[in-house]
Amino acid sequence: MSDQSKTSDTDASAMWGGRFSGGPNDIMEEINASIGFDQRFFAQDIRASKAHAEMLGAQNIITPEDAQSICDGLDQVYGEIETGTFTFKRSLEDIHMNVEARLKEIIGEPGGRLHTGRSRNDQVANDFKLWVRDAIDQMDVAMQAMQAALIDQAEAHSASAMPGFTHMQIAQPVTLGHHLLAYVEMLGRDRSRLMDGRKRMNECVLGAAALAGTSFPIDRHMTAKALGFDRPSANSLDSVADRDYVLEYLSALSITSVHLSRLAEEYVLWCSVQFSYARLGDSFSTGSSIMPQKRNPDAAELIRAKSGRVIGSLNALLIVMKGLPMTYGKDMQEDKEPIFDAHDTVMLSLAAMTGMLGDTTFNKERMAADAGKGFSTATDLADWLVRVLGMPFRDAHHVTGAVVKMAEDKGLGLDDLTLDDLQSIEPRIMNAIFEILSVDNSLKSRISVGGTAPSNVVSACAEARKRFL
C-alpha cells in the first residue's frame, strides 16, 4: 500500500468515524474531492466557523475557553492559507475538513468540538452564500466602473451624430452619447438584479445541520447577525437543498454577458474599415502574424465569445439541479466550478470593456457622414407633414415614401431635392421643410424624455452620474 493510500485511510477514518475501516479507491478520491476548487472560499469558511464557535460558547454548548481556543486556532489557519504555508490534502476532500483537521493539529481536542450542532451540508451552503454575497459586491463595483467609462464618453460625444440602426439598416440619426447611455441603462438593470438577488439570499443557513435541524440549544439569530445576514433561514430542508442564489447569480451574469457581447459586437463593426467609427489604441488591439497592416479588436471578440461560456455555466447548473429530490445530493458539489468560472469571466470582461472604452477614439466625421445616409430623416419629414399640414400620419407616411422613392431614383438625399420636386408630390409643402431635413436639426428635434437630442444627452449624463456613480 502506498504512503498516499495510508494517508487517505487515516484521513478517511478521521472524517467518517467508525463506519469505514478503509480509505477510498484512488478513482473515488479523484471524483469525490473538491479541495482543488472549493479552497477558494476558505475565508468565508473560517469566518462562519468562528461565528459558530462563538455562538456555541455563548450558549454554553461548549466552554467559553474552548470557543476562544477554536477562534484563535482558526485565525492561525487563516494566516497560514493567506501566506501560502498551508498544506491542502486531497484526501480530506474539501476546504471544511482541511481547515478542521489543521485546527485540531494546532489546538488539539477542543478542535473536535467545532462541528457540534452543524453538518457539512449547512456549512457548505452557508459558506457559499457568503462567497456569492461577496462576489456580488465585487461585481457591482466593476459594473459601476464600466458605467463611469460609458458616461465619460457619452458626455464627450453628446452632440456627435451617428446613424441609428434597426435591422442593421440606417434608421434615424442619433448621437453617440445617446447610444452609449443605452449600455449605462443595461448595466443599471444588471446591478439592480444583483442587489435583488443579494437581498433574497441573505438568510443564514447554519443551524439547519444535515437536513432536520439540531437538538442542541443553538442561537441561530446570533449566528445570522454575526455574519451580516438579515435572519436565519426558515426551513431546514430548504436550507440545505437550496441553490437558487447560485442560479440567480449565474442568471444575472448571463444577462450581463449578453449586454457585454452586444457592445463587443458593435466594437468589432465600428473598428472595421467598412465602418471606421472607432479606433482602439495599441493597448487593446492585436496584429497579425502574416498581414502587417492588420489591427484586430481581439479584446472585443473575446468578450463576445466568453458570453457563451457564462451562459453555459448557467445551463450546466440548471441541469444538475432539475432532478434532485430533497435535500442534499453530492451532485450539488458541481455548483462551484461553474460559478467560479462565470464570475471570473465576467469580471475580466468588464475590466477589458472598461479599458477599451477609455482607449477608444471615435471618428466623428465618418459617423456624421453616415448619419445622413439611407434617407435617415424621412421620419422627420413625415412628422412635419403631420405637425404643420395636419395630415393623418398614415397619409404622411405614404407621401414620405413617395418622396424617398423620388430621391432614390434621382440618386439624391432628401435635403438635396428641390421645393418643386417635393411639391410635385404634395403641393402644400413649403420651404420650411428644409429646416428639418438636416441631420443636426433632426437630432435637435428629438426632445422627448429619453430622446437623442444633444441637450437631452447632456442632462441624461448628469442624471446617470447621480443614479449610478
Point out the catalytic residue in the list 192, 272, 283, 288. Answer: 288
Largest CA distance in the chain: 101
Q: Measure Cα distances from 113 to 65, 89, 201 in Å.
A: 12, 21, 29
Rg, Å, the chain Cα set: 31
Q: Which residues are registered as beta bridge partners of 164?
A: 172
Half-sphere exposure of 229 (CA within 13 A, CB side): 27
Q: Hey, which bits of 182-226 come out as E strands?
A: 203-204
Place of cell 440602426: 165
Q: Which residues are registered as beta bridge partners of 175?
A: 161
73: burial class by Cβ within 10 Å (0-12, 13-18, 19+)?
Answer: buried
Instruction: Give which of 452, 469, 463 is closest to 177, Cα–Cα.
Output: 452
Contact assessment for residue 417 and residue 411, using Cβ atoms and an 8 Å cutoff: no
Place of cell 395636419: 390
Q: Is 167 among the residues known to form the active site?
A: yes
Q: How far apart are CA 440 and CA 442, in angstroms?
A: 5
Point out the catalytic residue in the list 2, 167, 289, 448. Answer: 167
Contact assessment for residue 286 and residue 298, using Cβ atoms and an 8 Å cutoff: yes
| Three-class DSSP category at 333 | helix
In degrees and rounded to multiples of 5, residue 360 shows phi and psi of -105, 135
Between 42-58 and 120-156, two packed helices, what is the crossing angle to 10 degrees?
130
Q: How far apart are CA 105 and CA 92, in angstroms?
A: 14
Q: Hey, which bits of 145-301 come out as E strands?
A: 161-166, 169-175, 203-204, 231-232, 278-280
Q: Sign of torsion, CA 250 252 255 257? A: negative
Q: Is 69 among the residues known to form the active site?
A: no
Helices (H) and strands (E) in the chain, counts: 19, 6
Amino acid at 324: L
* b/e sequence 358-378, b meaning 16+ C-beta within 10 Å: ebbebbbeebbebbbebbbbb
Q: Which helix (H) or strand (E) holds 360?
A: strand 360-362
Alpha helical stretches, state H, 202-243:
220-226, 236-241
The cell numbers describing 293, all together, are 497592416
Catalytic positions: 167, 288
